[in-house]
Chain A
Amino acid sequence: MEDSHSDYESDYKLGLADCRAASSGIDDNKQNDSDVEDVSHPPVCGRPSSQETISGAGRALSDLADYTKLNRAMTDYPWYPFTFEDDFNLTSWLVRSKVAKSQIDGYFTEGLGGTDSRSFQSAYTMQQHLDVLDPFGESLVWTEAVIDDGRHAATFYCHNIIDCVRYLIRQVAYRSDVVFTRIREYDSSRERV
Chain B
Amino acid sequence: MLIPNYVPGKKMWPPRSTVVPLIGLSDQTLFSNFWGDKKAWPVYVTIGNILSRTRNSPVRMPTLLLALLPVPPEFTGGLARADEAQRPRNSDALQTVFNLVLAP
Which A residues form the contact surface with B (CB < 8 A)? 1-3, 5-8, 10-14, 24, 27-28, 30-32, 48, 51-59, 61, 140, 145, 147, 149, 152, 154-159, 161-162, 164-165, 167-169, 173-174, 177-182, 185, 193
Contact = CB atoms under 8 A, between A and B. Distances in A.
A189 to B, nearest CB: 14
A36 B104 CA distance: 32
A14 B98 CA distance: 11
Across the A-B interface, the 8 shortest Cβ-Cβ residue pairs: A58-B4, A154-B70, A158-B67, A57-B2, A156-B70, A24-B8, A27-B9, A177-B54
Contacts of A156: 67-70, 97
A110 B88 CA distance: 59
B70 A31 contact: no
Given A8-B69, A24-B8, 10 more contacts: A7-B71, A7-B72, A7-B86, A58-B3, A147-B93, A149-B89, A149-B96, A158-B101, A164-B66, A177-B50
B75 to A, nearest CB: 11
A160 to B, nearest CB: 9
Interface centre among A30, A58, A155 (most CB of B within 10 A): A58
Nearest to A55: B5
B63 to A, nearest CB: 9
B54 to A, nearest CB: 4
Contacts of B4: 56-59
